[in-house]
Amino acid sequence: MPLPAPESLHAAPPAPGAAGSGRAASESNRSGPAPGEPSTRDRILAAAEAGFAERGFAGTSLRDVASAVGIRIPSLYNHFASKADLYKAVLTSAIGSIADVLVQVDEGEVSREPEDVIAAMMDVFRARPNVPKLIQYELLSGGEQLALVLDESVWPTLARGAAALEQASAGSHWKPEQRPLLLLVFYNLVFGHFTTAPLLKILTGDDPDAPEAIRRQVEFFGDLVKLLVGTEQSDARSADD
């Protein structure tokens, strides 16, 4: 599954409380964070990512974010002009985490085998479990902001990835108009593990975030993608005919 590289990387924001909380933490960041500690801006992004993933754009206020970080709202405005500006930055970072995997694939750090690509994606989302929820929430709300972020950042990369997936499935039994839909299948497989984790736990009794559960899912998803984009089914049909 050939996957191209985006033009930029987006690092994951650290946890909101990683550098302490309260007014003292805010004051200390005026002269810059200590080595190894996240900046106030990064802590704002982390808190906002968690809030928007849990309650969406409309249900998350700047006061909520500022309180989670331990700063006042005027301090937040020093980093982001508005809630919309903050939301856009959070979405850009979330999409960037997916683009990072594409970079690793393109540079040979991750194999192009479906199972390895899926494993890399799952590792990202295990580290940032709010990303699938955030994007899912945005899509359920209409996806307008996500579309803007994609247009401005990594849409060319995702478009090339979709074309590569379509090309990889060219020898399969899928009709040409069906092949682009395989990207949605891939998306739903990986994101669905995290967005439906509570349901999976109810059905199986297993912890979806446990290493063994992740390993089983990666193996299953990898085999499933190979079946979807491979030529085995079309070869079998030809043999039957």
Residue with tokens 């499933």: 224
Token pair 């924001």 in the structure block, residue: 13
Is 83 contained in some domain? Answer: yes
Closest CA to 217 of 135, 134, 114, 129: 114
Q: How many CA atoms lie within 13 A of 197 on its CB side?
A: 17
Q: What's the number of domains the chain is made of?
A: 1
**pLDDT computed for residue 18 by the predictor:** 47
Q: Is 177 a domain residue?
A: yes
Interatomic CA distance for residues 61 and 81, integer angstroms:
14
How much of the chain, in percent, has pLDDT values that exceed 70? 71
Identify whether 179 is part of a domain: yes
| pLDDT for position 14 | 55
pTM of the model: 0.73
**What range does the domain containing 202 cover?**
39-233
Task: Residue 139: count other Cβ atoms within 10 Å of its Cβ.
Answer: 13
206 pLDDT band (50/70/90 cuts)? confident
- Cα separations in angstroms, 32 against 37, 97, 123, 150, 176: 9, 25, 30, 31, 54
Residue 17 lies in a domain: no
- The 8-class DSSP code of residue 241 comes to -
Q: Could you give the CA distance from residue 104 to residue 4 in angstroms, rounded to a whole number?
A: 9
81: DSSP letter: S
Residues 6+ apart with CB under 8 A from 189: 118, 221, 224, 225
CATH number at 119 reads: 1.10.357.10
Asked, for residue 68, whether it belongs to a domain, the answer is yes
Position 22 in a domain: no
Question: Closest Cα to residue 209, out of 100, 136, 127, 110?
Answer: 127
Would 174 be classed as within a structural domain?
A: yes
- Domain assignment present for 159: yes
Q: Which of 13-27, 144-158, 179-193 has the lowest mean pLDDT?
A: 13-27
pLDDT digits (tens, 9 = 90+) for 143-177: 888 887 776 666 666 666 666 666 666 666 778 77
